[in-house]
Structure 1
Amino acid sequence: MKRINAPIWKPKKGERVADRIAFLDPNEKFEEIARLLYAYEFSWDIERALEFALFRTYAVPAISSLLAKTGEFENRPRKRYDDTEIILAETKEHGLESRRGTEAIARMNEMHARYRISNTDMLYVLSTFICEPIRWLDRFGRRPMTNKEQLAWFRYYRGLGSRMGISALPDSLEDMVRFNVNYETERFRFSETNATVAQSTVNLLLSFYLPRPLIPLGRPVVHALLDAPLRESMGFQKPPSWLCRAVPTVLRLRAFALRRLPLRRKPRLLTQVPRPTYPQGYDISRLGTFR
């Protein structure tokens, strides 16, 4: 299926995306700032950070048990990954009020409405989309997000949350971070469904980089990126100390190298990435699960 080009600003010769972002008002142009961060400034990092954001939600038994019941992680893990990524990318690339954006949000809301999901759990999932990219870039990015970029990122996802029907949305990034930390402190604990869903996800993510026989060798690398409460909630063993030091060091060396390489000049749009799940393209109305 032919996909519509995203309405995204493109830098001319001599222009920098960061300068464009600095020019924009984060209270009015937060969607454009979020789009530029996602497509240009931190495309690979934000994709990885959002993977870990979803991964953190699996440490909550109330969330992992619901996900395990759907059977998607056991039977169609790649499709579930692609559907989630596409829906989030459609809203970011085209806009929350665009035809494609509203269609993607409606499809997501339709899926959620089939299950009894508490508002607090929905708010926590949303908070991970805000907090994890900021934290990831602080640790491993070519540069951290500026205060203006963090505000725009928060306002974008707060706008998404309101369209998802989530109530009691925090009014500030500081309050959202506080809610995120308190929720994890209170609700992270081990359960078998945590372990099942998390292991399926780790295997899927590693399959993007490694052939199947080498996936077991890659698991400790992923575990080395997890903080202790998250790792324990998944039932994962702590990797060797040297690996817990080496993996972050490699990512920081990558960031050091990126600071010396040319900046991205063409947007990386996840709606345009070829996917084995949808070799002929996708239809938003057919994404996700159905009754």
Structure 2
Amino acid sequence: MRRYDRLKEILSLDPERDWLEIYRLTAYCEFPWDFTRALEFALYRTYAVPSIGRLLAETAELTDRTQKRYDDTSLLLDAVTEHGFENETGLTAIRRINQMHRSYDISNDDMRYVLCTFVVMPERWIKRFGWRALTGHELRASAAYYRTLGRHMGIRDIPETFADFERCLDAYEDAHFDWDEGGRRVSDATIDLVASWYPRPLAPLVRDATVALLDDSLLRAFRYDAPRPAVRSLVRRAVRLRGRAVRLMPPRRKPHYGRQNWEIRSYPGYPDGYHVADLGTFPGASRSEGTSSTARRGGLSACPVPHAAPSEPRAERPERP
């Protein structure tokens, strides 16, 4: 397989019909590292909206249990992408996402904005740092994928095209990005989490590098000091250099799933697996009520798109690369 053979495969597919396959090929084969980083920054951006950052701080999930919240979010979103919208494992992940969100008073506008970040930020990250730019095919498939996810989450007035998603995101950030103490606490905890993945002597450098990747609107919203121009230039140049190096490498023959990422650390039982129905938080319910028994009692009522009720999902058994 040559470097651009996967791209040829993607371009041979129909983004209106084969959007899920295109999105999987792009996220799991062409840009697994870049999609992980881009989606991390997508979720991070949402903290700068005070209504979102404040709520996340009040739940304490991202300040007191940062690694667990990171892991569960990654695994739930990954389960939907890997298994799709008709498979019982993917549907269980959607149900868990909906059950968590519906435990809080979250506006449709905030939910739609978060969805927009998932569509727009990978394109912007890869355009700046990836080994090639995303094609129009891939952007159409991504918009279709997240329109479908948004419908399963009950989000209203979802943008249609990638350009619509981009306009919605930019307008929302212009209107809502602002300082909030809770948002800053969540931001600090997230940066500390990233630093914790590396040897302790490197933690200050990792924090500085992470802040250097933030744009000016985020720096203002969180009231971080602007990084020194030389530091910002060095960090961004290093990430771009990585993309150029990847271009010279042979293409990935097997997909790399998000559940294989080394940053996920809350499940030391690998490769013994986990139940998707057990991931996430269970506000207002005991642990025993909140897992598989809730899934059995609730059926698919937490998903607004009709489906046949699935059987109890099996435990995932992720493989490490």
TM-score, length-scaled by structure 2: 0.84
In the TM superposition, residue 26 of structure 1 has moved relative to its aligned partner by 0.2
In the TM superposition, residue 16 of structure 1 has moved relative to its aligned partner by 2.7
CA distance in 1, matches of 2:227, 2:117: 24
Establish whether residue 279 from structure 1 lines up as the match of residue 268 from structure 2: yes
Establish whether residue 167 from structure 1 lines up as the match of residue 167 from structure 2: no
Deviates more, 1:198-207 or 1:127-136: 198-207
CA distance in 1, matches of 2:120, 2:234: 24
Amino acid at match of 2:61: E
CA distance in 1, matches of 2:141, 2:50: 31
In the TM superposition, residue 212 of structure 1 has moved relative to its aligned partner by 2.9
Q: Cα deviation per residue 1:150-182 (whole Å; 9 max; x = unaligned)?
A: 110111011101100000011221111101000
Q: What is the aligned counterpart of 2:23 among 31, 34, 51?
A: 34
Q: Cα deviation per residue 1:214-268 (whole Å; 9 max; x = unaligned)?
A: 3223212111111111111112110101111111111111111111111111210
Match of 2:212 in 1: 224
TM-score, length-scaled by structure 1: 0.92
Establish whether residue 64 from structure 1 lines up as the match of residue 53 from structure 2: yes
In the TM superposition, residue 276 of structure 1 has moved relative to its aligned partner by 3.0
Match of 1:290 in 2: 282
Establish whether residue 242 from structure 1 lines up as the match of residue 234 from structure 2: no
CA distance in 2, matches of 1:239, 1:272: 32
Deviates more, 1:89-98 or 1:263-272: 263-272
Contact 2:3 2:247 in 1 (8 A): no
Q: Which runs of 5+ in 2 are unaligned?
A: 284-321
Match of 1:262 in 2: 250
Output the aligned Cα RMSD.
1.6
CA distance in 1, matches of 2:115, 2:32: 19
Q: Which runs of 5+ in 1 are unaligned?
A: 1-11
Establish whether residue 46 from structure 1 lines up as the match of residue 35 from structure 2: yes
Match of 2:88 in 1: 99
Q: Cα deviation per residue 1:82-129 (whole Å; 9 max; x = unaligned)?
A: 000001100001112211111100000000010000000000000000
CA distance in 2, matches of 1:231, 1:15: 37
Establish whether residue 120 from structure 1 lines up as the match of residue 90 from structure 2: no
Alignment of 1:134-153 (within 5 A): 134-153=123-142
Count of residue pairs the alignment pairs up? 279
Against the structure 1 CA distance between its residues 113 and 248, is the aligned structure 2 distance closer, same or farther, given a 3 Å change threshold? same
Match of 2:200 in 1: 212
CA distance in 2, matches of 1:290, 1:239: 39
